[in-house]
């Protein structure tokens, strides 16, 4: 197994692996890969699953509604305590 000296970067939209291309790698093109100070060996786009996004949005909506209901009850209790005094 060959050991490589690489660095991995993760952004919101990509995983980028940088390092030194092998000498016999004629397919490496710095312009096409977007190399700057380091050689970009691989660039992978992160694709979000649409179903995962929908589930996360639904869960967030449910959390907000639950919190809104709790806040409403707290307001009602506060008014009842204030009005009964």
- Per-residue pLDDT tens digits for 10-66: 988 899 888 887 776 777 777 777 777 788 888 898 887 777 778 888 888 888 888
pTM of the full structure: 0.47
**HEC string of 20-74?**
CCCCCCCCCCHHHHCCCCCEEEEEEECCCCHHHHHHHHHHHHHHHHHHHHHHHHH
Residue 55: both structure tokens together: 């589930």
70/25: higher pLDDT: 70
pLDDT at 2 (0 to 100): 64
């Amino acid at each position: 197994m060959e050991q490589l000296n690489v660095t991995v970067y993760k952004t919101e939209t990509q995983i980028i692996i940088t390092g030194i291309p092998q000498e016999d790698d004629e397919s490496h093109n710095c312009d096409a890969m977007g190399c700057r100070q380091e050689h970009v060996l691989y660039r992978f786009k992160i694709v979000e699953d649409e179903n995962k996004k929908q589930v996360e949005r639904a869960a967030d909506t449910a959390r907000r509604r639950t919190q809104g209901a709790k806040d409403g009850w707290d307001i009602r209790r506060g008014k009842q305590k204030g009005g009964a005094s």
